[in-house]
Amino acid sequence: MAKLNFELEQDFYILFEQLKALFPNASLFLADTTTQAIHYKFNTDDISVENMAALTQDHHNQYLEVNTPKMRKRFIYQENDIYIAEHRIIGKLHILQPVSIENDIVDEVELTEQLQDLAKVFNSCSPEMARMFSIIQRVAITEIPVLVRGESGSGKELVAKAIHDYSQRKNKIFVAINCAALNSNILESELFGHVKGAFTGAIRDHKGVFERAAGGTLFLDEIAEIPLELQAKLLRVLETGEFTPVGGEKPIQANVRIITATHKALREEAKAGRFRHDLLYRLRVIPIFIPPLRERKVDIPLIVDQILKESSTQLDTMPRHVNQKAMQVLLNYDWPGNVRELKNTLLYALTMANGKDEIEVEDLPNELLNADDYVKLPETNAELSPENVQAALEKYNHNLNMVANIFGISRTTLWRYRQKHKL
């Protein structure tokens, strides 16, 4: 049976609660007597790696400082729940990562800069996305499997790429494949490769994405679409760390970090028999959920500005702004296709508004104007009033960028208006 050893490269200290009673033969002992009875490492031959998974819950990192007559040391503390296949919690995994006190300020500045960078990449200022950015930061420094869930067009590959870019593999290759775009026969070859003569048409050896992504990150999008027979082969790769090309005999080491994504609820897919439970436990160690655009409309003005900057240059068109009435339509539409639909809408509007200084309502697709969720807001700058501004501030949680866009004024003008009317 596989030996479970959580003595990690980063000099983590590990403590399992409740496992001593479950596994009497396990050795549980102090890892460092100078730091008293708080740091342990846990080794056992009684636990099979194949039969358990550590699922990180949404516990925030905390700083813990230990002072003894011999030393003063600070740790980052994180708590995780430990599950087994029957979905029963069998204990908790506590990770304490030593942190150099003199480098704390530098580390905190770096983390803050990372959050700011992520906000720019995703064009977001919403608290929902800020929580997601925090999870990205935490998982990027690990090799733990991540499952990204989000609706179509929400940016699942962007999340996977962000994790890669902040990981130790950032200087290696990032390979993405859409599992829904290929049938099962082609998909197996694309994943694991094939050797010459493996099947009709295999006139030469072909490297699959597991081999092409060696040393880097492999992103498997729409993982729920993989057929059951291929799911078994993927599970085997995750368990053994090896794969064999189609028609081949010699296994190849799989040195990749795997990130998967889906728009489906995999637990429901597993209950329905369309997805393997054991593969789900392997892939869904860290779940990341991308909030749909309709739940973070505060981000729409930022996303619109960025898309217009990029698209106007590509299309060599003039309009670089959306006027007040058109912005009202964009803000009140539910965007079932999320950011992808918003981008396509703006490309359409840019084309229709060619030669004008700004995008107007008439330049938008008709389906936006006919949508059931289209609700009118104050329509012109002439309707700028303390009552309307106050209502907009309350409606959009005092997001000044959004409110300024609604009234077609700058953020500075809005600030002065609020000062004047004591809003």
Q: Which residues pair with 322 in a beta bridge?
A: 359
Q: Which residues pair with 43 in a beta bridge?
A: 5, 27
Q: Tell which residue, 220, 216, 210, 208, has the closest CA to residue 266.
A: 220
Q: Which CATH class is domain 294-421?
A: mainly alpha
What per-residue confidence (pLDDT) applies to 260?
A: 96
Place of tokens 């508004």: 353
Question: pTM to 2 decimals?
Answer: 0.64
Handedness of CA 134, 140, 142, 147 (dihedral sign): positive
Average pLDDT over every residue of 175-203: 84
Q: Are 133 and 111 in contact (CB under 8 A)?
A: no
Would the pLDDT of 126 be above 90? no
Taking only the tens place, the pLDDT of each residue in 44-82 is: 444 333 333 333 333 444 545 555 454 455 555 555 555
Q: CB count, 10 Å around CB of 146?
A: 26
Place of tokens 């295999």: 202
Domain locations in the chain as residue ranges: 4-99, 107-291, 294-421
Taking only the tens place, the pLDDT of each residue in 29-40 is: 323 323 333 333
Q: How far is CA 91 from CA 52, 79, 152, 177, in A?
A: 11, 11, 36, 36
Can you tell me the distance from the alpha carbon of 291 to that of 10, in angstroms, rounded to the nearest whole number? 32
Percent of the chain with pLDDT over 90: 25
Place of tokens 């087994």: 84
Q: Are 142 and 135 in contact (CB under 8 A)?
A: no
Q: Which amino acid is at 175?
A: V
Q: For residue 85, how many C-alpha atoms fall within 13 Å in the half-sphere facing its CB?
A: 11
The topology under which CATH files domain 107-291 is: Rossmann fold (3.40.50)
Q: Which residues pair with 96 in a beta bridge?
A: 13, 77
Taking only the tens place, the pLDDT of each residue in 290-345 is: 999 998 988 998 899 888 888 767 766 665 788 888 888 898 899 999 999 999 99
What per-residue confidence (pLDDT) applies to 117?
A: 78
Is pLDDT larger for residue 17 or for residue 317?
317
